[in-house]
Structure formats: C-alpha cells, structure tokens
C-alpha cells in the first residue's frame, strides 16, 4: 500500500508542490475555455483539491497563497481559507483581484457562500461595474441556491429583481453568471421553479439580446422533464 503524502504546512511548500505539478501544455486548453492563463501553471481542479486536503483549513497559508498572484495558488487559497476568519475587508480585497471566471466561481462556491453574511455581499457585488466583481455577485447567488439549505424561498425571490436588472449586460462572463443564478434558483424547489420560469419568460420577451438569451436558455432547462422529475421526487 502506498504511503500517504505528507501534509503541506506552509505557503512556500504549497507553491513548490504546485510548481512540481505544473503542466505548461495544459494552459492552451485552459485558454480555449476562456480562462486567463497569464499567471497560470496549468493545473486541474482535482489536483488543487488534493493539495487542499493536504493543507487543511489554514488562513495564514491561504492569505500568503493569494498574495503570490499565481492563478492556481489563488484557487487553492479559496479552498483552504477559513470562512469564519475571512472577513468583509479580506473578501473585498480578493474580489477586486479576480481576473478569470474559474477563479471567480471557485472563490464564491467554495469560500464566500460559507462566510458569515454572503447575502450582503450579493447586494454589494451584483450592481458593481467590474466584470468579475459583478460575476461574483451572481455566481454567489448560484452557490447559495445550492448550498444554503436553511434559507426560505423569500430570500431567493428577493434576488430575482437583481437578475432582471443585470440581464441587459452583454459581457459574456456576466450574462452567463446571471443565467446560472436564475437556473439554480429555479432548480431549488417547485415554488421557486415557477417563479424563475416567470422571470425567464419576462427576460425572453425583452428587446435586449442578452436578456433574451438568458431567458430562453433558462427556460429550456427549467421547463425540461429532467428538472420537473427531480422537483417532483
């Protein structure tokens, strides 16, 4: 039986480990998916998750990893940061550094949705003009729709106007996140499915091209047999 890999105890250890796994050839594939590879090593998410398990929750290591500016080190930072120790000031610094959709989504889905008051950050980030800050707001809605099992329907019904307000934004990384947020709300339960379908119908009828795309794409999934059967189960 192979021996278990030793824990990674410092940020320097983590960076050395990531560099030892670097796959420069993989960067071209990442770029084809719209990932900003200017500071990337070419590592997959499964490799980063394995590294995160070796580190465990470690706020000091997370903050040091983020400061390196290395793409995968920042994703790893989101994996190992302690949500309870990641206050508003740190999250605002980190959201301002976002420069790629995959980093944005991992930041929100792994870290921000588990912090003390993520809905306040939704309120702050969704209206912001910066591409990846705005994406973060809507990626956070999508993450909360999946992970916040205790929230009532009213919490998500109150977010639908934010989706409608941003639906005219034609930036690819924004409109896809707005669409994602709407679809995840609509897959949460039958009542929210009906509300999300109504919202998508309004968007599909709007004159703006991105709003129509968001609405029509969301309607395809939210009215599908797959979603209907899951919600009826």
Reported as a single tens digit per residue, the pLDDT across 58-102 is: 999 999 999 999 999 999 999 999 999 999 999 999 999 999 999
The first and second tokens of residue 155, run together, are 């919490």
The first and second tokens of residue 18, run together, are 């990531």
**Domain locations along the chain:** 1-81, 98-233
The end-to-end CA distance of the chain, in Å, is: 42
Segment 142-161 shows an average pLDDT of 97
- Measure the CA–CA gap between 141 and 148, rounded to whole angstroms: 10
DSSP class per residue in 186-228: HTT-HHHHHHHHHHHHHHHTSSSHHHHHHHHHHHHHHTSHHHH
Percent of the chain scoring above 70 in pLDDT: 98
So what CATH class is 98-233?
Answer: mainly alpha
6: left (phi over 0), alpha (psi -120 to 50) or beta: beta
The first and second tokens of residue 103, run together, are 């980093």
The first and second tokens of residue 116, run together, are 């003390």
Reported as a single tens digit per residue, the pLDDT across 103-124 is: 999 999 999 999 999 999 999 9
Reported as a single tens digit per residue, the pLDDT across 155-213 is: 999 999 999 999 999 999 999 999 999 999 999 999 999 999 999 999 999 999 999 99
Question: What is the pTM assigned to this prediction?
Answer: 0.95
Tell me if residue 168 falls in helix, strand or coil: coil
Cα maximum dimension of the chain: 62
pLDDT (0 to 100) of residue 4? 64
Segment 14-33 shows an average pLDDT of 94
The first and second tokens of residue 44, run together, are 């997959």
- Measure the CA–CA gap between 175 and 173, rounded to whole angstroms: 6
Asked if residue 3 has pLDDT above 60, the reply is no
The answer to whether 185 touches 221, Cβ cutoff 8 Å, is: no
């Amino acid at each position: 039986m192979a021996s278990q890999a030793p824990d990674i105890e410092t940020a320097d250890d983590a960076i050395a480990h990531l560099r030892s796994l670097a796959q420069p050839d993989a960067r071209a594939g990442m770029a084809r998916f719209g990932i900003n590879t200017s500071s990337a090593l070419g590592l997959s998410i499964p490799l980063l998750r394995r590294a995160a398990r070796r580190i465990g929750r470690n706020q000091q290591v997370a903050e040091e990893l983020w400061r390196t500016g290395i793409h995968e080190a920042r994703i790893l930072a989101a994996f190992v940061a302690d949500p309870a120790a990641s206050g508003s000031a740190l999250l605002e610094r980190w959201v301002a550094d976002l420069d790629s959709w995959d980093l944005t989504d991992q930041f929100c889905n792994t870290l921000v949705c588990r912090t003390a008051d993520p809905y306040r950050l939704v309120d702050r980030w969704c209206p912001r003009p910066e591409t990846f800050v705005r994406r973060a707001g809507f990626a956070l809605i999508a993450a909360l729709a999946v992970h916040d099992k205790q929230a009532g329907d009213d919490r998500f019904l109150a977010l639908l106007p934010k989706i409608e307000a941003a639906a005219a934004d034609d930036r690819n990384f924004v409109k896809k996140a707005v669409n994602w947020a709407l679809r995840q709300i609509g897959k949460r339960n039958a009542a929210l499915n009906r509300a999300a379908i109504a919202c998508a119908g309004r968007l599909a009828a709007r004159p703006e091209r991105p709003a129509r795309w968001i609405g029509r794409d969301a309607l395809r999934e939210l009215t599908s047999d797959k979603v209907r059967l899951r919600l009826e189960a």
